[in-house]
Amino acid sequence: MRANYQVNATTQFRVLSDDQIEEIFHSALNVLERVGTRVYGEEGLALLRDAGCLVSDDASASSADALVRIPSWLVKEALSTAPERIVVAGRDRRQRVILEKDKIYFGTGSDCPALIDPYTGEVRKYTYEDVYNAARISDALPHIDFHMSLGLTSGVPVHTYDRHQFLAMLQGTSKPLVITAVDKEGLADQYRMACEVLGGPEEFAKAPLFVVYIEPSSPLSNSIEAVEKILYAAETGIPAIYTPCTMCGATAPVTLAGGMVQCLAECLVGVVLAQLKRRGAAVIIGGVQSAIDMATSILSYGAPEMVLLSAAMTDVAKWLRLPMFSTAGCSDAKVLDQQAAIEAAMSVTIAALSGANLIHDVGYLESGLLGSFDMLVMSNEVIGMAKHILGGITVTPETLAVDVIEQVGPGGHYLTQEHTRQHFRMELWFPTLMDRQQRRGWEASGGKTMAERVRAKVKDILEHHQPLPISAEVEASLKELVAHADERHRSKAGER
């Protein structure tokens, strides 16, 4: 036996040292104490005031908004009660994501207004059917672990689109979900729908069906919708992502460290609010951090700054012992081309190496405006490659294979060795879309490009994959809940 023998069971990767993380964290605390954050909504303000925060002088108990300065001790107290482990399960309860340090899961993004029709090539709005089909594609792909809507449902009432979208997602996949909500009422309706699917609030509490995405407004502002949603999520046991979408140079400092300080400060407001509402409420931090492109003014989804910031924030989240919401599998390209492949491969690999937990936006093109079935399917292949790389290299007497090398000897080969038969399936990665044929074989099989092979797989899934169905009785109840939500908003509009 060897002494002091160290093993890297997986690959190792890190952006920030502990000292750098401490500087960023302490700077974020400094911002919350000195600069403060604007908070909207009476309940949130009351909780913060009662906890010892300094609320601006012009804010009375009935104020709708105020500037709040949060003491560092309160942030640290909130961090001490926020859970570092969250379990979310799909509607069949078997497919789970376990959010804890260095466990990675990939999923789509949400709410893109447009897609490229896989049959006509037309760029058009997402329909209910498209959102359902996006869920079916996620359901069929082995390396997509959770699902967000990918598209923004059109053709339904604007104020209740989120309920329709959630229903389409439930119908299309049995995987764990991440949802968006118009407001607290929209979140409450989706919670009721989830409880209907699972059999009640007790079943949801055992393993939530979904996580809700909530976004504060950069810089340093928390809308009434965001505050009410984080408080409702804490109260009901819904895990909540509370993360900004910062643009370095526009809505955050242009320096990456400064952008991280502001982003972290904004995330920590959500942690504090959730813990004040209910100790132990599950909160996930992170966010979509990137740079504004100074030539076009877009938030770049393919920029190396986004990849670097996401990995660095993952280091911070792990240091704070909080689950991390990261970004990968997305691009600024308008179609599935070489740019899309480069940006997807780079972001997926770095996100996987970083150890982030919920890695979303797989399938985004055109800087988050286009939710692409093609990009989703191609990125699934990239994720499979990245996961294989993360497995590292197993070094044991069996895998060192000295005896096998001796048996084959100079000039031999290993194709017929029992050692090869026993190990090749575990040691080697097998592509489903990448082409490794010689040119003659590739030409004989049609000479298809990667984009053509991807599109063929998309169509195959759309035409053949059937998700686990919801019972007719439960589906009818879900549709009734959605119809009631539509009617409530029609009545409110009539009253106005």
The Cα–Cα gap between 160 and 489 comes to: 8
pLDDT at 57 over 70: no
Average pLDDT score over the chain: 95
The Cα–Cα gap between 78 and 283 comes to: 11
Q: What is the mean pLDDT of residues 59-72?
A: 78
pLDDT of residue 307: 96
Q: What is the mean pLDDT of residues 61-66?
A: 70
Name the residue among 141, 131, 92, 91 with its Cα closest to residue 109: 131
Q: What is the dihedral of CA 314, 315, 319, 323, to 10 degrees?
A: 10
Residue 344: in which H helix or E strand, if any?
helix 338-354
pLDDT of residue 61: 44
* Segment 393-407, tens digit of pLDDT: 999 999 999 999 999
pLDDT at 148 over 60: yes
Listed in sequence order, the residues at least 6 apart from 466 whose beta carbon sits closer than 8 Å to its beta carbon are 136
Parallel/antiparallel/unpaired status of strands 221-222 and 247-248: unpaired
Q: What's the CATH architecture for 83-390?
A: Alpha-Beta Barrel (3.20)
The Cα–Cα gap between 28 and 215 comes to: 18
Bin 237: left if φ > 0, else alpha if -120 < ψ < 50, else beta.
Answer: left
Q: What is the mean pLDDT of residues 238-265?
A: 96
Work out the pLDDT band at 492, boundaries 50, 70, 90: confident
pLDDT of residue 495: 61
pLDDT at 458 over 90: yes
Q: What is the mean pLDDT of residues 164-185?
A: 98
Of the candidate ranges 17-26, 293-302, 367-376, 452-461, the one whose mean pLDDT is the lowest: 293-302
- Boundaries of every domain in the chain: 18-79, 83-390, 397-427
pLDDT at 60 over 70: no
The Cα–Cα gap between 43 and 123 comes to: 43
pLDDT at 493 over 90: no
pLDDT of residue 496: 60
Name the residue among 303, 216, 286 with its Cα closest to residue 251: 216
- Percent of the chain's residues with pLDDT above 70: 98
Prediction pTM value: 0.95
The Cα–Cα gap between 257 and 161 comes to: 37
Q: What is the mean pLDDT of residues 102-109?
A: 97
* Segment 418-441, tens digit of pLDDT: 999 999 999 999 999 999 999 999
pLDDT of residue 7: 81
Name the residue among 177, 161, 166 with its Cα closest to residue 113: 161
* Segment 296-346, tens digit of pLDDT: 999 999 999 999 999 999 999 999 999 999 999 999 999 999 999 999 999
Task: State how far the alpha carbon of 25 is from the alpha carbons of 18, 166, 460, in Å.
Answer: 10, 36, 48
Task: State how far the alpha carbon of 333 is from the alpha carbons of 365, 373, 388, in Å.
Answer: 6, 14, 26
* Segment 199-217, tens digit of pLDDT: 999 999 999 999 999 999 9
Given a contact cutoff of 8 angstroms between Cβ atoms, the answer to whether 325 and 285 are in contact is yes
Bin 158: left if φ > 0, else alpha if -120 < ψ < 50, else beta.
Answer: alpha
pLDDT at 19 over 80: yes
The encoded tokens of residue 72 equal: 């560092």
Work out the pLDDT band at 89, boundaries 50, 70, 90: very high
pLDDT of residue 58: 60
The Cα–Cα gap between 310 and 349 comes to: 12
Name the residue among 378, 383, 350 with its Cα closest to residue 365: 378
